[in-house]
């Protein structure tokens, strides 16, 4: 079997889709199949091409996986024109250069968002006569409307709706990372074939035994209760809620907050903390992916936040925390909240409920046995339901049986 993954985001970039897709590619290759990646020059999240990359095209082989990188207009700006230039530049370069350099492929798995990659995948599927697997990580344009990026009924919304329908129409299979994503698609496109390609965690990489004294000292003192967030600092994450909670709890010298990562909102968050003179919250630059598991395992509480309810959104950070046997404070609604509640792996708070977030932090700070019990529950659930080895194996078997 020959499979190509078409995605705008891939390592050495750090992020949820980058980790999920690269690990899936590695597992497919380990089963003896040929895997190629068609992706952009790495530039996310700072909007600058990484050192050692650039130009029109760069080809390399990493771990037996062929990687083809094509040009992109890099930007961190949020203006409509610049974001469209970012998306469409990669659509054009991947379609054009992929036509020449992409090897024979049976399946073309395209990652959405951005939704526009559906155009590139349609063209490449014709050129290579391959089946399109359209992988939906976020529902667009619904998510864009919820975030206030797009107005419902606007021209851009209507165009996105038409493009979404077109992408689903040409797909041989539609995969979704959450059941609520698939439910939405099935309700609107009942004739399309769907598959639940859940997110999850590498339960060997994220493991409670990855805790180390070095990682703990990076987070804070042994007598402190460290609430740790690791990930994108963007609009959707609503990290200002953590800052608001830290302000209320600033006289509590036992509780400390650490936010690790980068993104378009980080500058605003840092300025806000400085203006409020908060000493109980720190920021850390992104760390290489291999340094993250010990930090997660060494924290007392893992924070996962969303600004508001986004249809189908299930942050991958909950799976990594669960696999590390760390209790989660989840500020979100929907399927992610259902997972935490069902498996009793943490405390769920509604977005915008700062007093609820403060109460959850105080509860877990004061109850080490509760933290241990919630963490153990999460670890069991991760091993049984959210193990990436099992998720990938089932998906590979599905594709093998469909050839």
Mean pLDDT across 236-250:
97
Check: CB of residue 374 under 8 Å from CB of residue 318. no
Residue pLDDT, tens place only, 326-344: 999 999 999 999 999 999 9
Domains and CATH numbers, the chain: 2-200+387-401 (3.40.50.2000), 208-385 (3.40.50.2000)
Q: Is the peptide bond before 14 cis (omega within 30 degrees of 0)?
A: no
CA distance linking residue 174 with residue 159, whole number of Å:
20
Given a cut of 80, whether residue 201 has pLDDT beyond it is: yes
Q: How far are the Cα atoms of 27, 345, 397 from residue 1, in angstroms, in the given order?
A: 13, 38, 11
Given a cut of 80, whether residue 74 has pLDDT beyond it is: yes
Mean pLDDT is lowest, of 142-146, 207-211, 237-241, for: 142-146
Output the DSSP codes for 185-249.
Answer: HHHH-TTS-EEE----B-TTTS-GGG--HHHHHHH--TTSEEEEEES--STTTTTHHHHHHHHHT
Side-by-side strand order, sheet with 281-284: 281-284, 255-260, 225-230, 301-305, 328-331, 346-349
Q: How far are the Cα atoms of 6, 240, 283, 368 from residue 41, in angstroms, in the given order?
A: 13, 31, 27, 45
- Residue 179: its pLDDT value, please? 94
CA distance linking residue 318 with residue 46, whole number of Å:
24
- Residue 15: its pLDDT value, please? 86
* Burial bucket for residue 267 (CB in 10 Å: 0-12, 13-18, 19+): exposed
CA distance linking residue 314 with residue 337, whole number of Å:
8
- Residue 80: its pLDDT value, please? 78
In DSSP terms, 39 is beta-bridged to 7, 69
Mean pLDDT across 130-143:
93
Check: CB of residue 364 under 8 Å from CB of residue 327. yes
CA distance linking residue 109 with residue 88, whole number of Å:
18
Residue pLDDT, tens place only, 312-329: 889 999 999 999 999 999
Residue pLDDT, tens place only, 153-164: 898 889 999 999
As separate numbers, helices (DSSP H) first and strands (DSSP E) second, the chain gives: 15, 14
Residue pLDDT, tens place only, 168-194: 999 999 999 999 999 999 999 999 999
Q: Strand, helix or coil at 387?
A: strand
């Amino acid at each position: 079997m020959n499979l190509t993954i078409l995605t705008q985001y891939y390592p050495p970039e750090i992020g949820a889709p980058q980790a999920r897709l690269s690990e899936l590619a590695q597992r497919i290759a380990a089963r003896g199949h040929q895997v190629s990646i068609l992706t952009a020059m790495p530039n996310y999240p700072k909007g600058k091409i990484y050192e050692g990359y650039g130009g029109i095209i760069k080809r390399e082989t990493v771990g037996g996986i062929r990687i083809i990188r094509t040009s992109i207009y890099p930007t961190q700006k949020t203006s409509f024109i610049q974001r469209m230039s970012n998306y469409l530049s990669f659509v054009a370069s991947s379609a054009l250069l992929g036509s020449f350099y992409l090897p024979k492929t049976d399946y073309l798995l395209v990652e959405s968002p951005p939704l526009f990659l559906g155009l590139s995948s349609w063209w490449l599927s014709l050129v290579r006569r391959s089946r399109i697997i359209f992988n939906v990580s976020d529902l667009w344009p619904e998510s864009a409307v919820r975030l206030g990026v797009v107005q419902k009924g606007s021209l851009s919304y209507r165009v996105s709706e038409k493009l979404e329908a077109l992408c689903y129409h040409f797909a041989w299979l539609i995969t979704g990372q959450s059941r609520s994503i698939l439910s939405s698609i099935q309700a609107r496109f009942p004739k399309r074939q769907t598959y639940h390609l859940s997110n999850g965690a590498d339960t060997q990489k994220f493991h409670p035994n990855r805790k180390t004294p070095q990682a703990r000292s990076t987070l804070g003192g042994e007598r402190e209760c460290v609430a740790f967030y690791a990930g994108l600092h963007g609009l959707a994450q609503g990290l200002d809620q953590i800052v608001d909670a830290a302000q209320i709890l600033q006289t509590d010298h036992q509780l400390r907050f650490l936010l690790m990562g980068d993104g378009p909102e980080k500058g605003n968050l840092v300025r806000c903390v400085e203006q409020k003179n908060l000493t109980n919250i720190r920021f850390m630059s992104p760390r290489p992916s291999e340094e993250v598991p010990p930090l997660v395992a060494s924290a007392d509480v893992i924070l996962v936040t969303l600004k508001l309810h986004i249809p189908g959104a299930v942050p991958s950070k909950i799976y990594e925390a669960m696999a590390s046997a760390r209790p989660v404070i989840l500020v979100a609604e929907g399927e992610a909240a259902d997972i935490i509640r069902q498996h009793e792996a943490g405390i769920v708070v509604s977005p915008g409920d700062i007093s609820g977030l403060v109460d959850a932090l105080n509860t877990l700070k004061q109850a080490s046995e509760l933290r241990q019990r919630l963490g153990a529950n999460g670890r069991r659930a991760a091993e049984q339901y959210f193990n990436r080895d099992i998720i990938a194996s089932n998906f590979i078997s599905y594709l093998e049986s469909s050839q």
